[in-house]
């Protein structure tokens, strides 16, 4: 169907040849004809670059020009777009992005950390040069949520956007849930299976999800990216008993990244939440990702799919390339950078909701009364309070579910109990998704 | 933020002032500032047209020029885009679409029937004139599935696309499920509540879902629209006992529009299916819509949201207008019309899967043996067979679940039993989603 191509081939330089880079090469080879029909032209990798030329990547790189100095790509006339898959908030990825966009070279990236930290500046460079800065793969892998927010829901005032943004955490939590096992054991297995990194902290401490949330929030609300304002808690301290208690109450525990915008400011938080069974996020299992956006006309939109892996991520990268080939792109952050609002962070303490609190305490008289008194004095109204495992040698667990109230009261409860020798470890607080 | 607008206002003519038309007006008023920031310019309705000028629509129409003869809109230089919300496959909507696109006027529509029947010709007109033909609201209301297929999943070869495409049917089926009530009773209530039309056949006989499926299939597979090849069965013959049997087996019944593409051709069918509880479609309740696409790199994508109503549909219409304002649009069917494949319809008889069959039979000896013999002679292997309600005066129900086998064998079973006086009514067949 060559006669149907509107344009000369789109010539791509691919920088970074890890799992995703290999996926992009395989995808462009496998679906070449279909992509050419959809894009209006063939999409061809012409140059590649990575740190180590000699590493075996299980994919034939011989058709492509190897470029040692990636900084030459920004100004080469025989390259139409640069795809960055190096990763990292700063360093070579950021240098390359700035060089390309300053030189007017369209830029496609999967780099959520770089965008969360430097997205505003990069969008301004792209805007100034009038070129594409595309990053569908940066959030929720293969799920087209960037497009969903930037375009699909663009007519709406979005009140909140939230979701399950890290597949590793979701795999660990849902495995703990299904098998009744502990965090450390499941994490170790996930590492052995390759589902979690040897150094897992980026995932399990919520940083990766916070990067993605920062990007989603900016698109959803038309506000400047503000990664530093994301309150981030990971899943290290979720124990099997929390999952069991939540299940008994009709909830599942998910690491939720949530952003809300309103007159009181922009609220952004990544933390494990209790999700009611009738909410679609409760049914997002294993390494899947999902995003929910609530708009004032569209209502609740829900997107689910594979949030990581070479295939899904490559799918998003190539979708961006197709948009570039079609000449269907515009402001990276959905509007001119100068039109983005500088929204102040909201005071989380004023948010109203229900919470789950779990204490590990000494097994002795008066401890329940001490906790109950602290909640009372902090103004927390208790919906249920359960003590289990009284026969444990190392203390007992007390789980509380509160009625809806201001979050500051929950914090005050913990402040009042801080230093009490009844508590054997730091209490766990999870908010409940309503 | 007027200084940030890149363009003069986008001037819209709105034709058809029913529920959705009113929604579009309210949305453009309510979110005007946000839309202007996102679109790069204000989006302003300048002219309106409908059949009856004097009808009270509960919305102030005085700011807009009333146009009696909508055919004048196509050539007016002071109108940038025409939005058609009249509906109907043919008639005034089609005339208007052809006039506008022939005259080079961008065209936005929510009209699934028109697109299913005439989409190819309209896309060719838009292509020839180089103008936008946009129709996000035509499928699944507020859910951006047109964009999801056309752009989000564009890098993938899609093997199948399917979903819950009619909110009325899903409301009826899930209400029957939750309340154990019969079809006629729930339909009547849905009509009283305004969830179903006085003449509900378009919805409950699956025609509306078939229109939407036709559009999705073309986008997903790069094939020409082929509405006539959709095998369509509605939900009239689903009875409470089917839902109960399905539940006992671990399934829920949903009206599923499904399209598959492969070497054997294009398969398109709308019919009630048994959906396993671990499939996301099983959790789509009430009037929600959902779409699943399975791609060779992205895996399974799942989109869910409100598929009808003024707010969600207006959200999709205005998203299209924002794309037009941003100048981010291209081929209506994701590629040039000449690049679409003319795919032959697949022989459904060769599809392999499991099925649920339900018979209403005489309560007398030998009937089960007669059914069992027919399945055996047709080559159907039975996984389970249940007879219930032997005390019913008007016959008993026999429900069969087959092992995986070719669908033609199920058809042959019914052919073998046709005319048997053991059967008190036409048997019900539903396939099982795997």
Chain A 267-286, CB below 8 Å of chain B: which residues?
280, 283
* Nearest CB neighbour to A322, from listed B154, B326, B339: B154
Give residue-wise pLDDT tens across range A310-369: 999 999 999 999 999 999 999 999 999 999 999 999 999 999 999 999 999 998 889 999
Chain A 123-162, CB below 8 Å of chain B: which residues?
136, 142-144, 147-148, 151-157
Contact with chain A for residue B319, Cβ under 8 A: yes
H or E stretch at B161: strand B158-164
Q: Residue A265, annotated ligand binder? A: no
Give, to the nearest 10 degrees, the angle between helix B19-30 and helix B310-326: 60
Q: What is the mean pLDDT of residues A6-24?
A: 94
Residue with tokens 């209490």: A427
Integer Cα distance of B299 and B85 in angstroms:
35
Contact with chain B for residue A298, Cβ under 8 A: yes
Cβ separation A339–B1 shorter than 8 A: yes
Q: What angle do CA A270, A274, A279 make, to 5 degrees?
A: 100
Three-state secondary structure call for residue B248: helix
Contact with chain B for residue A245, Cβ under 8 A: no
CB crowding A297-321: b at 16 or more within 10 Å, else e: bbbbbbbbbbbbbbbbbbbbbbbbb
- Of the given ranges (A277-291, A379-393, B109-123, B314-328), which has the lowest mean pLDDT? A379-393
Residues of chain A found within 8 Å of residue B38, distances taken between Cβ atoms: 154, 222, 334-335
pLDDT one digit per residue (tens) for chain B, 434 residues: 334 566 899 999 999 999 999 999 999 999 999 999 999 999 999 999 999 998 988 889 999 999 999 999 999 999 999 999 999 999 999 999 999 999 999 999 999 999 999 999 999 999 999 999 999 999 999 999 999 999 999 999 999 999 999 999 999 999 999 999 999 999 999 999 888 888 999 999 999 999 999 999 999 999 999 999 999 999 999 999 999 999 999 999 999 999 999 999 999 999 999 999 999 999 999 999 999 999 999 999 999 999 999 999 999 999 999 999 999 999 999 999 999 999 999 999 999 999 999 999 998 889 999 999 999 999 999 999 988 766 666 789 999 999 999 999 999 999 999 999 999 999 999 999 98
Chain A 358-417, CB below 8 Å of chain B: which residues?
none
Contact with chain A for residue B300, Cβ under 8 A: yes
Q: What is the mean pLDDT of residues A256-285?
A: 96
Three-state secondary structure call for residue B67: coil
Q: Are B171 and B261 in contact (CB under 8 A)?
A: no
Instruction: Name the CA dihedral angle for B188, B189, B194, B197, rounded to a multiple of 10 degrees.
Output: -20
Q: What angle do CA B304, A223, A170 make, to 5 degrees?
A: 45
Which of B80, B73, B78 lies closest to B95 in space, CA to CA? B73
Cβ of A273: how many Cβ atoms within 10 Å? 27
Domains of chain A: 2-138 (3.40.50.720), 145-304 (3.30.360.10), 349-432 (3.30.70.260)
Residues with Cβ within 8 Å of residue B179, at least 6 apart in sequence = B186
Nearest CA in chain A to B141: A298
Structure tokens, A322: 């197709």
Integer Cα distance of A161 and B385 in angstroms:
47
Q: How many residues are there in chain A? A: 434
| Top-confidence residue, B77 or A4 | B77
Edge-to-edge strand order for the sheet containing A43-49? A65-66, A43-49, A10-15, A81-84, A107-109, A133-134
Q: A101 to chain B, minimum CA–CA distance in Å?
A: 20
Max Cα separation, chain A? 84
Three-state secondary structure call for residue A191: helix
pLDDT of residue A196: 87
Whether A128 sits among the annotated catalytic residues: the reply is: no
Cβ separation A23–B151 shorter than 8 A: no
Q: Residue B59, annotated ligand binder? A: no
Catalytic residue among A105, A134, A147, A212: A212
Structure tokens, B275: 């959906």
pLDDT of residue A132: 98
Chain Cα centroid distance, residue B263: 25
Integer Cα distance of A204 and A193 in angstroms:
16
Q: Are A231 and A345 in contact (CB under 8 A)?
A: no
Give residue-wise pLDDT tens across range A148-196: 999 999 999 999 999 999 999 999 999 999 999 999 999 999 999 888 8
Integer Cα distance of A160 and B52 in angstroms:
39
Contact with chain A for residue B4, Cβ under 8 A: yes
* Nearest CB neighbour to B31, from listed A151, A155, A321: A155
The phi, psi pair for B94, rounded to 5°, reads -65, -40
Q: B76 to chain A, minimum CA–CA distance in Å?
A: 26
pLDDT of residue B196: 87
pLDDT of residue A84: 98
Residues of chain B found within 8 Å of residue A329, distances taken between Cβ atoms: 328
Share above pLDDT 70 across residues of chain A, in percent, rounded to a whole number = 97
Contact with chain B for residue A39, Cβ under 8 A: yes
- Cβ burial, residue B362 (10 Å; 0-12/13-18/19+): middle
ipTM of the complex: 0.96
Integer Cα distance of A113 and A136 in angstroms:
13
Cβ separation B31–A315 shorter than 8 A: no
Integer Cα distance of A421 and A50 in angstroms:
55
Q: What is the mean pLDDT of residues A80-89?
A: 97
Q: How confident is the model at residue A387 (pLDDT cuts 50, 70, 90)?
A: confident
Q: B215 to chain A, minimum CA–CA distance in Å?
A: 16
Residues of chain A found within 8 Å of residue B328, distances taken between Cβ atoms: 151, 328-330
* Nearest CB neighbour to A326, from listed B280, B322, B330: B330
DSSP state of A149: I
Task: Tell me what the pLDDT averaged over chain A comes to.
Answer: 95
Contact with chain B for residue A350, Cβ under 8 A: no
Alpha helices in A273-309 (DSSP H): none
Q: What is the mean pLDDT of residues A65-84?
A: 97
Residues with Cβ within 8 Å of residue B228, at least 6 apart in sequence = none
């Amino acid at each position: 169907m060559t006669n149907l191509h509107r344009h000369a081939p789109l010539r791509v330089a691919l920088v970074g040849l890890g799992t995703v880079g290999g996926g992009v090469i395989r995808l462009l080879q496998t679906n070449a004809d279909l992509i050419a029909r959809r894009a209006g032209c063939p999409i061809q990798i012409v140059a590649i670059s990575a740190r180590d030329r000699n590493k075996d990547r299980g994919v034939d790189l011989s058709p492509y020009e190897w470029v040692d100095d990636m900084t030459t790509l920004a100004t080469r006339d025989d390259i139409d777009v640069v795809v960055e898959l190096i990763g990292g908030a700063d360093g070579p990825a950021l240098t390359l992005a700035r060089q390309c966009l300053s030189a007017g070279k369209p830029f496609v990236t999967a780099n959520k950390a770089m965008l969360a930290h430097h997205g505003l500046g990069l969008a301004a460079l792209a805007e100034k040069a009038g070129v594409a800065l595309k990053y569908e793969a940066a959030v929720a892998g293969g799920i087209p949520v960037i497009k969903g927010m930037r375009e699909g829901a663009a007519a709406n005032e979005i009140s909140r956007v939230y979701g399950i943004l890290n597949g590793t955490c979701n795999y660990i939590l849902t495995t703990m849930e299904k098998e009744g096992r502990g965090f450390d054991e499941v994490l170790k297995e996930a590492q052995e299976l390759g589902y979690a990194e040897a150094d897992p902290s980026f995932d399990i401490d919520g940083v990766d999800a916070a990067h993605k949330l920062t990007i989603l929030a900016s698109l959803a609300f038309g506000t400047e990216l503000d990664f530093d304002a994301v309150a981030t808690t990971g899943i290290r301290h979720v124990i099997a008993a929390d999952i069991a208690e939540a299940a008994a109450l009709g909830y599942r525990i998910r690491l939720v990244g949530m952003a809300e915008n309103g007159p009181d400011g922009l609220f952004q938080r990544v933390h494990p939440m209790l999700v009611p069974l009738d909410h679609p996020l409760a049914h997002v299992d294993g390494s899947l990702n999902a995003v929910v956006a609530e708009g004032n006309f569209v209502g609740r939109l829900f997107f689910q799919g594979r949030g990581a892996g070479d295939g899904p991520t490559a799918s998003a990268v190539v979708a961006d390339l197709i948009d570039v080939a079609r000449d269907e792109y515009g402001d990276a952050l959905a509007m001119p950078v100068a039109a983005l609002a500088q929204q102040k962070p909201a005071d989380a303490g004023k948010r109203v909701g229900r919470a789950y609190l779990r204490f590990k305490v000494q097994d002795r008289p008066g401890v329940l009364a001490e906790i109950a008194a602290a909640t009372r004095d902090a103004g927390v109204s208790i919906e249920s309070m359960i003590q289990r495992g009284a026969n444990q040698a190392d203390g007992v667990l007390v789980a509380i579910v509160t009625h809806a109230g201001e979050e500051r009261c929950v914090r005050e409860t913990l402040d009042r109990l801080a230093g009490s020798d009844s508590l054997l470890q730091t209490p766990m607080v999870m908010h409940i998704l309503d």
